[in-house]
Amino acid sequence: MEKKIIGRKEKISIPEFDLNLVWAKVDTGAFTSSIHAENIRVVEKDGMKILSFQVLMPDHKSYTGKTLVFDKFREKRVKNSFGHAETRYLIEVTFKLAGEKYLAEFTLSDRSSMRNAILLGRKILKNRFLVDVSGYNLAKIYRQKTK
């Protein structure tokens, strides 16, 4: 399979979250992908643990305020951008990039101090994409071909 060329920042869509063409930072230094989440709660319902949260910050132009609920999730230890280990919730969702859909794992984290609410790590990128760090929104040409 030919690898698609993407830039250091790309617009992705996550239909399950009602997010369409939201900027994500491509980070080959990070293994796991992450998305900013707020009001993260785990509650027990009918004997099952349920994870609920909202994605993005309220001042983000794509913020919906919608509470998302997952019954399939797990905890994962990750090193944050400062090298400190922390435990985060990890979910699997389908996202769209470069005109194709991919199933991927995202951790929920506080990215409020970061410039981008979504980070794509190398686990998602591996064997699919080549990253041209001199450009951004390079996946746009693949999206246009599939319309």
Q: Tell me the whole-structure pTM to 2 decimals.
A: 0.91
pLDDT tens track for 78-103: 987 778 899 999 999 999 999 999 99
- Contact by Cβ (8 Å): 102, 93: no
Contacts of 74 (CB under 8 A, 6+ apart): 89, 90
**pLDDT confidence band for 128 (50 / 70 / 90):** very high
Q: Burial level of 45, CB count in 10 A (0-12/13-18/19+)?
A: exposed
**Distance separating alpha carbons of residues 5 and 93, to the nearest angstrom:** 22
pLDDT tens track for 29-80: 999 999 999 999 999 989 999 999 999 999 999 999 999 999 999 999 998 7
User: What are the tokens at 6?
Assistant: 């993407």
∠ CA 130-132-134, nearest 5°, is: 175
Q: What three-state secondary structure class fits 17? A: helix
Expressed in angstroms, the distance from the first to the final Cα of the chain is 21
Domains of the chain: 4-146 (2.40.70.10)
Contacts of 56 (CB under 8 A, 6+ apart): 19, 22, 35, 36, 62, 63, 64, 117
